[in-house]
């Protein structure tokens, strides 16, 4: 059941590009007062210009870097000054990036960066803004405030060469499950959006992280072909329109009972169902075939 909603304020992080930007513009067109979180002034100017071109009036921007506590604190203060008390209806934790590469070759610094953005950043923003969501519940009633986490089918299905990204999304799934149960007594509903591969700069960032790996590492030749196969696969599948994800976020915000999870895309649904139905070895075989992981690789002789 979809409920009609009065004008409400919603904060969406990671609106500089990709799914966040598309979602912000879509919801603004649908009557929400959107506060689009961006990291740079240039990104703020860009999304505001696009909103004006679409004749969107209720879209504001907020500078926020989810990896820095000072930035989140300033953004929280700025948000409180930007909107009336008790009117923040929802937060969409969308900010994210992808780190690509085999576990052996991805530096720990890149693993930490992956989790700082995709996991700890989402926790920090949620912690900072929960008091404002509780104010909305006090003003408007139970079930009116929402937290939406942008996860991925990668949070259900781990894939070769995407270990850091999948690990961060697995973590986000566990965090969101706990949060959903913890916030239910307070009248705040939590949803997870689990897209497959859609148009997003996140895949370009992932390819960049793979390009930055140490190609002089002795083990690199073992993984080289797998990385090339992954890049070809990403180029092929990451062309589905992002508007489907934006509509899923809207469903999470407007249903009277927020869905715990929404899988978006045929690839996401097929992956989740296959993971559930197939024995692990058979599922591994199917994924390895999809990603071009060879049955065996020739190991170079160990240097004497």
Q: Known catalytic residues?
A: 165
- Phi/psi at 36 (5° precision): -90, 115
Distance (Å, whole) CA 23 – CA 48: 14
Output the CA torsion 214→219→223→228 (10° steps). Answer: 30
Which ranges of the chain would DSSP assign to H, the alpha helix? 18-29, 41-53, 69-82, 108-115, 121-140, 163-183, 201-211, 220-237, 243-254, 266-277, 280-290
Residues 6+ apart with CB under 8 A from 25: 47, 50, 51, 54, 56, 59, 246
Q: How far is CA 284 from the centre of its chain?
A: 25
- Phi/psi at 69 (5° precision): -60, -40
Q: How far is CA 71 from the centre of its chain?
A: 20
Look at the alpha carbons of 202, 39, 84, 187 in this order and tell me if their dihedral is positive or negative: positive
Distance (Å, whole) CA 134 – CA 183: 10
**Residues 217, 106 contacting (CB under 8 angstroms):** no
């Amino acid at each position: 059941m979809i409920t009609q909603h009065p004008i409400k304020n919603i904060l969406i992080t990671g609106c500089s590009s990709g799914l966040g930007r598309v979602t912000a513009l879509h919801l603004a067109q649908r009557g929400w007062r959107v506060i689009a979180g961006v990291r740079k002034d240039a990104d703020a100017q860009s999304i505001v210009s696009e909103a004006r071109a679409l004749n969107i009036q209720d879209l504001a921007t907020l500078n926020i870097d989810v990896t820095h506590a000072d930035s989140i604190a300033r953004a929280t203060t700025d948000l409180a000054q930007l909107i009336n008390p008790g009117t923040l209806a929802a937060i969409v934790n969308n900010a994210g990036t992808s780190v690509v590469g085999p576990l052996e070759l991805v530096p720990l610094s890149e693993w930490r960066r992956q989790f700082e953005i995709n996991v700890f950043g989402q926790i920090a923003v949620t912690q900072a803004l929960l008091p404002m969501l509780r104010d909305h519940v006090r003003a408007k009633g139970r079930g009116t405030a929402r937290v939406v986490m942008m996860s991925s089918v990668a949070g259900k299905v781990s894939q070769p060469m995407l270990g850091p990204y999948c690990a961060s999304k697995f973590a986000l799934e566990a965090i969101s499950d706990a949060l959903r149960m913890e916030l239910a007594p307070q009248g705040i509903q939590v949803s997870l959006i689990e897209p497959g591969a859609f148009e997003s700069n996140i895949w370009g960032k992932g390819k960049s992280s793979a390009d930055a790996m140490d190609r002089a590492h002795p083990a690199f030749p073992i993984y080289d072909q797998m990385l090339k196969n992954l890049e070809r696969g990403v180029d092929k599948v990451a062309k589905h329109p992002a508007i489907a994800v934006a509509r899923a976020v809207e469903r999470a915000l407007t249903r009277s009972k927020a869905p715990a999870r929404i899988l978006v895309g045929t690839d996401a649904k097929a992956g989740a169902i296959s993971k559930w139905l197939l024995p692990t070895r058979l599922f591994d075989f199917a994924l390895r075939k999809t990603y071009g992981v060879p049955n065996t690789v020739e190991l170079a002789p160990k240097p004497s």
